[in-house]
Amino acid sequence: MAPQGQLEKFDRYTLLHRIAEGGMSEVFIAHDPEGDDPKQLVVIKRTRDDQRGNTTLIKAFVDEDAVLARLSHPGIIRSLDFGRADRRYFIALQHVWGESLTTLSQLCHKLDKPFPTYAAIAIGARVARALEHAHKATDEQGAPSPIIHRDVTLNNVLLSNLGEVKVLDFGIAKAKGRVTQTLMGEIKGNPEYLAPEQLQQKRDIAPAADVYQLGVLLYKLLVGRSPFPTESEGSFVRALLAGEVIKPSSVVRGFPPRIEQLLLKAMSQDPESRYTDGGEIAAALFGLLPPEWRDEQPRLAALFGDLAGPRHARQVAYIRKLLDGIAGDHADAELLQRDHGAEEPKRLHVELSLSDLPRPPELAIAASKARPPALPKTTR
């Protein structure tokens, strides 16, 4: 730990700002002096100091890096380095300036307007293409060896200031060769997005589970609430297992029928009735876009600027001060924390038993009363 007022050196990196801290890991924006750019930024995720002996956590870090090493797609955040320093394991990840969909949907609500329909569809299509790459992964011999994300949520999708869409956090992905395996009685992922077969702890989780979670993500983005009743945990779980999705058209007047049909198919109770994988739902989503949205990136960049432009400018200015060797003053730091400090950090390893399932979150509208979540998210 660096003395107060000094930036911490960790391995070859200089830690500039903590993005998030959970019970087992912490995440920083950092400077990489060996990068292609003299001011190259990366994201460092490392084990907490008090978790040095946590072998399960260390194996999870090894697994995540191994999964990312098998993936190379413009829609997936890249792993750049993996190692151990000061008796702590770390992963260095590609840094991208942007905001999570959680943040952007909250900013829309603050402006009292819905998330733009075609923007949501375009983002969903790009997420689906990234998932398709994971679903079609192969092993070293070229045999099919799909990687299933298992945690496709608003918080794990980033929209960059340039209009790029990035999928984050393969920390609990299902992949052949993982060191850590899911045990009976464990459920991995965000309970609000779980497919029925995940909640039922079935072993044969397929890419269709990611399709289901993408359906939930798009539903929340477009409808502004959960697809299931949220009055109680029991009613939520019963409706989820029975496939009783609240039709978007019953919540939003004039909801487009073709989009509703797509969402209901993606969230079918039976995995066999869904789109089979990321590629199939990507084709369906792209098919919903009008001609003017065929080149969606400039439109998504404009949306980012409209929603998060001032936040982004403050974030970039603060980090540039640190890169230039000028410590931000107290006012700068407090302003940054107001932008970045609201989101509850995600744990690296999510393991729940059925009895541990928390009460499902309230509607997105109620949740959006909280301050917007943390800094440009490239990790959990």
CA distances from residue 73 to 77, 119, 165, 238 in whole angstroms, order as listed: 8, 21, 11, 37
The answer to whether the beta carbons of residues 308 and 99 sit under 8 Å apart is yes
CA distances from residue 126 to 69, 92, 298, 322 in whole angstroms, order as listed: 20, 24, 14, 33
Separation of alpha carbons 113 and 123, rounded Å: 18
Separation of alpha carbons 44 and 277, rounded Å: 31
Catalytic residue among 32, 63, 65, 151: 151
Which H or E run contains 354?
none
CA distances from residue 17 to 134, 140, 215, 316, 340 in whole angstroms, order as listed: 31, 38, 34, 12, 10
Separation of alpha carbons 12 and 90, rounded Å: 12
At 111, list the tokens.
């402006």
HEC profile of 206-243: CHHHHHHHHHHHHHHHHHCCCCCCCCCHHHHHHHHHHC
Three-state DSSP at 352 gives strand
**What are the strands of the beta sheet with 157-160, ordered from one edge?**
98-100, 157-160, 165-167
Three-state DSSP at 193 gives helix
Catalytic-residue membership of 11: no
At 256, list the tokens.
């487009």
Burial 115-147 (b: 16+ CB within 10 A, else e): bbebbbbbbbbbbbbbbbbbbebeeeeeeeebb
The answer to whether the beta carbons of residues 275 and 286 sit under 8 Å apart is no
Q: Catalytic site residues?
A: 151
